[in-house]
Chains A and B, each alone.
Chain A
Amino acid sequence: MPEKFVGAKSRSKEGPRHVTGRGLYTDDFTLPGMLQAMILRSPHAHAKILSVDTSDALKNPDVMAVVTPDEVKRLTKPFKPGRYAAGLKRPIDEYAGAIEKVRYVGEPLGALAARTRGAAEDALELIQVDYEPLRPVVDVREAIKASSAILFDELGTNLAWQGSLQYGDIDAAFKSADRVVKENLKIHRYSSTPLEPFVVIASFDAASKRLTVWVTAQVPEVIYDGVREALGLQDVRVIIPDVGGGFGQKIHLIRKYVVLISLLAMKTGRPVKWIEDRSEHMMAGGHACAQEFEAEAAVKNDGTVLGLRFDEYDDVGGSISTLTIHFTNKLNNLSNTYRTPAIHMIGNAVVTNKCPVIPNRGIGKPGMCYIWERMMDRVAQELNLSPIEVRRKNLIQPNEMPYRTISGNVYDSGDYPGLLSTLLEKIDYDKLREEQKKGRGQGKLMGIGIVIGVEPGGRNAARDMAIFPEMKEPPGSGGINGATIKLEKNGTLSLHLGSPNCGQAHETTTAQVAAEVLGTTPDQISTSIPFDSDLSPWGVAAANSGNNFHLYDIGAIHGAATRLREKVLQLAGHVLSTDPKELTIENGVVHVPGSAAKKVTFAELGRIAYNNQHLIPDGMDAGLQATYYYMFPHAKPNIVPGADRMVRAQFTFSAGAHAAIVEVDKTTGMVEVKRYLIVGDNGTVINPDVVNGQVYGSAAHGIAVALGEGFMYSPEGQPLTITYLDYGKCSTA
């Protein structure tokens, strides 16, 4: 069947509401009697909480409730340690708020609800907290010295986790090398800082013990599980309306605020809304991890890389809940595009008095790609070879596909040398090098950077067992993701997804896929926003990064639409007295080929399906609705690591090659990007405009981070970048 909608231009379904201001974000909802909350936060990087006095605040008649650290401890349970806290020497309780100690500026330790936001802001100032300041721990290398102050007394060290993993014979690689190339690499703290900050509304019905939360979150299950566990409630409904940007920011930390705001709703018996302000987000909304790598490559004189070793130091901030997230994710693209037969990774997760780390646009994967691509350039420099030649020497070849990497990832297809050649051709690489040479003579500093990388998709949580052999059971594995599709009484279709949409055009692309399968048009399909845990299907993989959506959600929608198509044909076959196998569907009309009069529309079928029992064929499962839970059918072998620790960290691997041509101002050091070219092998593209937008957006953020945007701290652990201007967010200028 030729594809009509998949891969074609299709009008955006989200666009009309966004351009008219009719998107509905959490802050746009108002409930009767709703109160406004503020969060009580630490002004210290590291301090003991001695006492919290709320009496003055409570004298304000507009103040309805305050939640203190004592109450958080008494009324809630700590979150269950997540998979990124695995490997901790002993468990550490993490509550929704700080209990005895604060460990970063901005750490929440309580909350207050008042009748207006203004009253809440005023009253917050009246809460008196006595702190005993402790020595701040800011620098990773200092943090691991015996002389450092300790964040978590239970651990007795700030080196909260250390571990290593080795594939191939790394000692042999280094022994047989002609040369060892070493380099120290660093990535600083940054984040995508979604324009919509955290927003939560909580409403508690005390009589039925039912909690409803509206929240701008990316992963429903993190909120659902976290809130139920922390508050000891069974009946929780999570509603996720339009989300004003996610990028990973709105997965983990936000659950703390949902718990604190829910406590206020439970205390007051009224709905409570909380909106984070920008500076709160910049200091406490989560940062991508600062990572330092001591990397070394064992190489032959011809540029062949025999082995790679990196010793990684992660500055994970003042929480243990995402301790190893940047290290474990390096298994996803550990080999990048290269055949190197031995890799040794060593991880050190260091807690410091800074904002906790969160997943942000790729988590550890940009770091892994950076290690590879920087080392390739360093190898070329030391061997006096061209950086292109060194890469070519080590690339996995198209005739080796499908290729199993040394850690067990399976690359099903790809032509990496071809990608590189296309890129070089498009930028006219040889001519650029000549220009560069000529420019140098005239004092002009032009830089040409070429990189290549895989972009893994489709998560597999069992991956972590390779890094934590003490883990007996996988913390989950593969991905199971649902979708529901319903033919309405008027013949249109509605879709319910397991993933909220944070700007990746879920509504547009799912309509294209469903229209393709069902023989209708995307304009006849609407996708339900918000996500509502009462109505929407679940998915362990509803983690919402684009690299899960393309596999798990699209798989689920395809499956649900296929099931519904069968039902539509079964009913139509009965109505038209024709074998369903002979029917075709076009533009929402089921036809008997060769017989122009014999047809039935989706609208007619919709009326029959819910209204006219005598027209339903015997044995048909009534109702034109289908739910399908998708699992990736090729997830085995190595979905769970064996003794050799081989594991499929992710399941799909697209690839891209980038070229940056920059000019450096000799006097100021200012870097100007003259050209930036991306060549991608994206597999089947459902909507080219959407995919281009995602690629532009992440490339722009990567460039901005490389050229300077980022978070900074004073030696005392005070955040210095709490506005967009301080942080250096890039604009059109």
Chain B
Amino acid sequence: MKQTIRVTVNGRVYQEDVEPRILLAHFLRETIGLTGTHIGCVVGECGACSVLFDGKVVKSCLHFAVQADGREVTTIEGLAKDGELHPVQEAFVKNYAFQCGYCTPGMVMTSHALLQNNPNPSEAEIRKALAGNLCMCTGYVQIVDAVKEAAAMQKNRE
């Protein structure tokens, strides 16, 4: 039995009928076609599907779509404005903070959430914040470097 939900995703309202068992991650990818949110484990261990949920970073595979009714979700597609990369995105590109790119949307969203709450994190704080986002390619060195640089870039902007 489907339920009707209204979810604001990246500033736009979507009204959709969904099965209660549909996960938010699948809703984003398959129902409204935002495939930037990746799925690596579907059990909340890898963080590839991280999105902002009412401003807080969550793993979208651990939420049902129906739980997002009336809520605001920001996905990786919602960060860049008019083709201009967000500072966190730019820092990831500059630092080669990705290889295959599969974990990258989740890494970027989690880093963005961290910097919103803590604009000047130490390396230990960065590592703690990213501990729920797995990357199989990089060994994390360039990712941590990118978050540091993103913090500096955002500071310079202010």
Contact = CB atoms under 8 A, between A and B. Distances in A.
A724 B35 contact: no
Interface in A1-41: 11-12, 14-25, 27-28, 30
B133 to A, nearest CB: 8
Interface stretch (A237-245, A343-351, A470-478, A591-599): A237-245
B24 interface: no
B35 A28 contact: yes
A725 B45 contact: yes
Given A16-B93, A21-B105, A731-B134, A503 B126 contact: no
Nearest to A15: B93
Contact of A20 (B43, B45, B80): B80
Interface stretch (A193-201, A320-328, A421-429): A193-201
Interface in B43-100: 43, 45-46, 48, 75-77, 79-80, 85, 89-90, 92-96, 98-100
A566 interface: no
A733 B77 contact: no
Contacts of B100: 194-196, 242-246, 502-503
| Residue among B43, B131, B133 with most chain A CB within 10 A | B43
A115 interface: no
Contacts, number: 173
A693 B96 contact: yes
Q: How large is the interface on A (under 10, 10 to 19, 20 to 34, 35 or more residues)?
A: 35 or more
B143 interface: yes
8 contacts: A12-B93, A18-B98, A19-B85, A19-B105, A245-B137, A503-B101, A690-B96, A732-B126
Interface residues of B, number: 57
B-side interface mostly: loop
Contact of B77 (A21, A194, A505, A732): A21
Nearest to A687: B96
The 4 closest A-B pairs by CB, nearest first: A21-B36, A700-B139, A503-B100, A244-B102
A584 interface: no
Contact of B136 (A12, A22, A195, A690): A195
A505 B92 CA distance: 14
A496 B136 CA distance: 27
Given A244-B102, A732-B126, A732-B131, A20 B76 contact: yes
Given A19-B92, A19-B108, A194 B136 contact: yes
A704 to B, nearest CB: 9
Nearest to A729: B134
A118 B37 contact: no
Nearest to A501: B100
Contacts of A699: 139
A278 B136 CA distance: 14
A731 B98 contact: no
A-side interface mostly: loop
A60 interface: no
Given A195-B103, A729-B136, 9 more contacts: A19-B90, A243-B100, A244-B40, A503-B100, A689-B95, A696-B141, A697-B137, A731-B133, A731-B140
A415 to B, nearest CB: 26
A193 B103 CA distance: 13
A254 to B, nearest CB: 15
A505 B99 contact: yes
Interface in B100-143: 100-105, 108, 126-128, 130-143
A696 B138 contact: yes
Contacts of A245: 99-100, 102, 136-137
Contacts of B34: 21
B153 interface: no
A192 interface: yes
Given A12-B93, A733-B127, A503 B99 contact: yes
B45 A723 contact: yes
A692 interface: yes
A695 to B, nearest CB: 9
Contacts of A193: 136
A548 interface: no
Given A278-B42, A733-B128, A20 B79 contact: yes
A701 interface: yes
B19 interface: yes
B144 interface: yes
Contact of A15 (B36, B76, B80, B92): B92
B12 to A, nearest CB: 16
